Amino acid sequence: MPLFCPPPSGCSRRRFLATTLLGGTAVSLRVAAAQADEGPTRVALLADTHIDKDPARKLRGVNLTRHLEGVASDVLTVAPAPDHLLINGDCAVSKGLAGDYAQLQELVGPISQAGIPVHYLMGNHDDRDVFLKSFNERPEVTNSLVDHKLVEVLETPEANWIFLDTLMEVDVVTGEVGDAQLRWLDGWLEGNPGRPVIIVMHHTPQFGIEPGAKVFGVKDTDPLFAILAKHGHVKAVVYGHSHTWRTSRHESGLHLINLPPVAYVFKEGFPSGWVLAEADATGISLTLRSLDAAHPQHLEEKRLAWR
């Protein structure tokens, strides 16, 4: 998984990359313990950037490039700065073309140059192979923990973040974790029972899918949540896809955190922007940062206590 961090002189201790399992489709990261005066790890959560190679491209009246430029600029105004930034899928506008990813890299350049590692997840409008080539990743697919998937584990002092890959087919709305990724996830959670775990994936959970029903979310949501529910240290699931900012709770007590889009919203009046997250031993604090500073939910804060 692409991760950029300048030389240690440009990084805080918590951003220092201590361990990386390379292999193109599965990466594990361990972040050095933060000094006490640094406070909790801060993660900038973005989703649904939908970047097009053409910087003038508009969808639903929104200039896609301008929206990401606005978010990137806002991220850099936050103090203290986020320790990590992730883009939770649908990085590209439609089919994950090389030109889209080239434009994306240019737009997130200021974030990387500021020393903030950037993490990418796959959505249904991404192309895994094109993404890897565009970001100069080595095609070591056969050596990965989860074949043909982009999976990352980010270990911070307060929580372990697991970034799953729910891309099933390019430009097909349905998402899937898949049997191999489910087995890996169950095993990893069994072997790492310590600190809280936050699951991140692009697609919306979709429970109790009936035969023949339209699947717009994760087709194997039920087996996924059966695994997550039985591991008590899993505390929350973060997702995008629906272009809607909201939080709710699963019957197991897991928090469900639906990120706003960077790009366009599906319903007028909903906010677009990003979320600043700070996890600790007892819960997670979320702050919505809307692109529209006049939006009534701009700077809305939520505190979610762990189950």
CA–chain centroid gap for 17, Å, is 18
For residues 123 and 200, give the distance between their C-alpha atoms in angstroms, rounded to a whole number: 12
Tokens representing 162 are: 């697991």
Number of C-beta neighbours around residue 282 at 10 A: 12
Residues 48, 240: contact at Cβ < 8 Å?
yes
Residue identified by tokens 């990352």 is 152
Tokens representing 246 are: 């909201």
Question: 3 pLDDT exceeds 90?
Answer: no
Could you report the per-residue pLDDT of 167-217, keeping only the tens digit for each?
A: 999 999 999 999 999 999 999 999 999 899 999 999 999 999 999 999 999
| 161 inside domain | yes
Percent helix, percent strand, percent coil in the chain, to nearest 5: 25, 25, 50
Whether the bond between 117 and the residue before it is cis, its omega within 30 degrees of 0, is no
Give the chain's domain count.
1
| 243 inside domain | yes
For residues 12 and 72, give the distance between their C-alpha atoms in angstroms, rounded to a whole number: 20
The H-assigned helical ranges of 120-231 are 128-134, 179-191, 221-230
CA–chain centroid gap for 101, Å, is 16
For residues 267 and 271, give the distance between their C-alpha atoms in angstroms, rounded to a whole number: 9
Of the candidate ranges 35-49, 132-146, 271-285, the one whose mean pLDDT is the lowest: 132-146
Element (H, E) at 71: helix 64-75
Question: 138 pLDDT exceeds 70?
Answer: no
Q: How many residues does the chain have?
A: 307
Residue 122 domain boundaries: 8-305
Could you report the per-residue pLDDT of 205-240, keeping only the tens digit for each?
A: 999 999 999 999 999 999 999 999 999 999 999 999
Of the candidate ranges 128-132, 233-237, 278-282, 302-306, the one whose mean pLDDT is the lowest: 128-132
CATH number at residue 189: 3.60.21.10
Which pLDDT value is given to residue 71?
A: 99
Partners of 285 in the β-ladder: 278, 303
Which pLDDT value is given to residue 220?
A: 98
| 1 inside domain | no
For residues 141 and 147, give the distance between their C-alpha atoms in angstroms, rounded to a whole number: 6
Three-state DSSP state, 29:
strand
Question: 260 pLDDT exceeds 50?
Answer: yes
State mean pLDDT over 264-286: 98
| 61 inside domain | yes
For residues 255 and 283, give the distance between their C-alpha atoms in angstroms, rounded to a whole number: 10
| 133 inside domain | yes
Confidence of residue 18 (pLDDT cuts 50, 70, 90): very low
Tokens representing 295 are: 């939006």
| 98 inside domain | yes
Which pLDDT value is given to residue 147?
A: 84
pTM summary value: 0.91
| 2 inside domain | no
In angstroms, the first-to-last Cα distance of the chain is 30
| 3 inside domain | no
